[in-house]
Chain A
Amino acid sequence: MRSFHGGIHPNDGKALSRNSPIELLAAPEQVVIPLSMHIGAPAKPRVSVGDSVSVGTVIGEAATGVAGISAPVHSSVSGSVSAVEERLHPNGRRIVSVVIDNDFRDTYDASVVPQVIDERDYSTDIIRILHAAGVVGMGGATFPAHYKLASGLNRADTLIINGAECEPFITSDHRVLLEDTDAVLRGIRHLRRALGLEKAILAVEANKADAITLLREKLKGTDDIEVRVLKTRYPQGSEKQLIQSVTGRLVPSGKLPADVNCVVFNVYTAWSLNQAIETGLPVIDRVVTVSGPGIVRPKNLRIRLGTPVRAALKAAGGLKEDTRKVLLGGPMMGNAIYDLDVPVIKGTNSIVALSPEQIHHNSEVEGSCIRCGRCISVCPMLLQPVYLYAYERKDKLDDLKKLNIMDCMECGSCAYTCPGRLHLVQAIRSGKAKIRALPQ
């Protein structure tokens, strides 16, 4: 199996939720939907207090700002807008959000109708649908999908569908692959046709054997989607590493996958596109794994966007008595939250609660670097974290640039493996921020 450089293999903890079928979480009385759930310019509010909205109504319009990288935002329930104001976002900042009181009627917006694709201009139509439905990179990166597809037009010779799901605990894509296989495959075929390619590669880590078997069965007799089994190794699902594992190509520093003729979409992005085509529904909910040793009954839930994390936790039996850390996203790259009322958003693939032992391990006092070099051997970007750390502490910004600090994607492999418990990722983040703050 071809793979990427370095990486780590933590205990994946996926057994906690891998066999739990996706359950529907009832919509809450009130949803709080941030107008920024994607990379790029935040959407502009298109509703005001008192407006009534339906499921799928556009509440935030995609901004036309920087290179058009933005995405629209839709209502996930029907009801009335009770506030348009700054609310706490999972990223810790306050972001303009639309607060909607649910009337529990679930009426659909008039725009929610199955889409007909113009066979003569397939790609333009798919781009339009992706954009209108607010589809973003659903693996957690949340880069607007229409923009990505457009960047690959006439350039991409390889379409990779990312089903690696390499972060510990997360099983949402795994469950979608198992339970909604056909919808995912149809979504992949739309993307493949839009790019004018003969074949798409669906890349799945070897730890999802049941999904791999099922997919191969469904794909028997066809040759337009190849299931590629990847080594179970973190961060296999990182875009650059995935491209390297699948094609052997390396995306140059500061360039896009399209520059090496690749386009990568997440499994759930393909699923969301399929839903937008077949039902007309934009992204109004998503599958979220609620798991980790701090959760009473780990499970996978389909949750409306804007639902407070608290409601999702309750549906999973709540937090254990001694749980003190809740993450949105996986334990390697996810954000720790301090307020359980922050909403589930497009990029929330999981809610993970850690055990006291894990927290203790993580919050030990920073020790000394013994120069063991483990951080160097695990770095998938082939950087030298030990020196990035040392130079950052001494504010040697030129040296940091020479060592390509900006290429660090903060996967955390170095800090995971460091026997001295150095805060390597924090130091690198701080170094990057110092460089960004330099006058250009």
Chain B
Amino acid sequence: MNDTQRKLIVSSSPHLHGDEDTRSIMLDVIVALIPALAVATYIFGVRALALALVCCAACVIFEWGYRFLLKKPDSVLDLSAVVTGLLLSYCLPVTVPLWAAVIGSGFAIIVVKQLFGGIGKNIMNPALAGRAFMFSWPVIMTHWVGPRAYSNFFDFSLADAVTGATPLAALFNGNLPEMTLLEKLVGQSGGSMGEISTFALLLGGIYLIWRGIISWRIPVIYTATVFIVAFLFPVGEIARFDWALWNICSGGLALGAIFMATDYTTSPVTSRGQVIYAVGCGLLTLFIRYFGSYPEGVSYAILVMNACTWLLDKAGKRKVYGEAH
């Protein structure tokens, strides 16, 4: 072709673009979530894996269906619905009936995410809001089974599984849980299926920070806030250091601090805003743990702070280059 026939494209600068896109980011988050799923499957049997898959499938189908019916461009390929599905399943007891998980997924995707305009527009974390909605059935949402309590790995119903208290429940009754801290960290404990192994979640968190997907700011400050405040106010006969340590290692804290509170859409974009947000998450978590009727503060703390995100961004506006100090 000679140059007189050649049609040139004109567009606005910049003319180069980095390789990272929304899909690659979501893929990284999915990769970071795999260790926790592996532990959950080992501890609770095949049902854990099935629950995760059902939530993912439901989220993807709801997302696709909603946008298909409303004639909006399909967004399933950005993989954000898969992340929501995984995260929702992680904060459910493994025994939760699958129909309830499907309803929770529908609420998360349709009401919390799509009705607000889809990815990037929701004001609360869809997975956490879906979980909160599922507390319409408090009994099934608090039916905990102990680690490896099934009769065999493929026991899908978990009907015979031994029920067990979560470490956090024991803690707030004034007793140290009946397990070593190490057992808790590797996941030998009862609790929501994805939250049991702090180590597995931490591994995912380190991966996300290494890949530049999240910053250390929210998880570290959130956890530090919980540790410090718990250290100052121990409960019962428990030594304050043990108390503080168990507080950051139990419940959904690692899952919440690393994967939920760092959700881009519902956390501040300014670094100062992120600091206030993380401290707020920590304080609210403990407030609910100390004074709430049920000792699990992470998800509601994050949901409340989600709602403050816009305000925190305003408060967190930094001085621009060369602006008078």
Contact = CB atoms under 8 A, between A and B. Distances in A.
A168 B16 contact: yes
A319 interface: yes
8 contacts: A10-B18, A318-B3, A326-B8, A327-B15, A336-B10, A336-B11, A371-B264, A371-B269
B4 to A, nearest CB: 8
A425 B13 CA distance: 7
Nearest to B7: A324
Contacts of A117: none
A359 B187 CA distance: 48
**Nearest 7 A/B pairs, CB to CB:** A412-B14, A373-B269, A250-B322, A331-B15, A381-B321, A336-B10, A370-B120
Interface of B: 1, 3, 6-18, 20-22, 24-25, 75, 78, 80, 118-121, 264-265, 267, 269-271, 313, 317-324
B120 A369 contact: yes
Contacts of B8: 324-326, 336-340
Nearest to B11: A336
Given A327-B15, A373-B269, 7 more contacts: A361-B17, A362-B17, A368-B121, A370-B80, A382-B320, A386-B269, A387-B313
B310 to A, nearest CB: 10
A253 B1 contact: no
A250 B15 contact: no
Nearest to B25: A419
B320 A253 contact: yes
A383 B12 contact: no
Given A319-B3, A336-B8, A384-B270, A415 B320 contact: no
Contact of B6 (A319, A377, A383): A319
B215 to A, nearest CB: 8
Given A168-B16, A336-B10, A372 B264 contact: yes
Interface string A153-180: 0000000000000001000000000000
From B10, B13, B271, residue with most partner A Cβ within 10 Å:
B13
A134 interface: no
B118 A368 contact: yes
A231 interface: no
B322 A253 contact: yes
Given A253-B323, A368-B118, A333 B14 contact: yes
A331 B14 CA distance: 6
B14 A325 contact: no
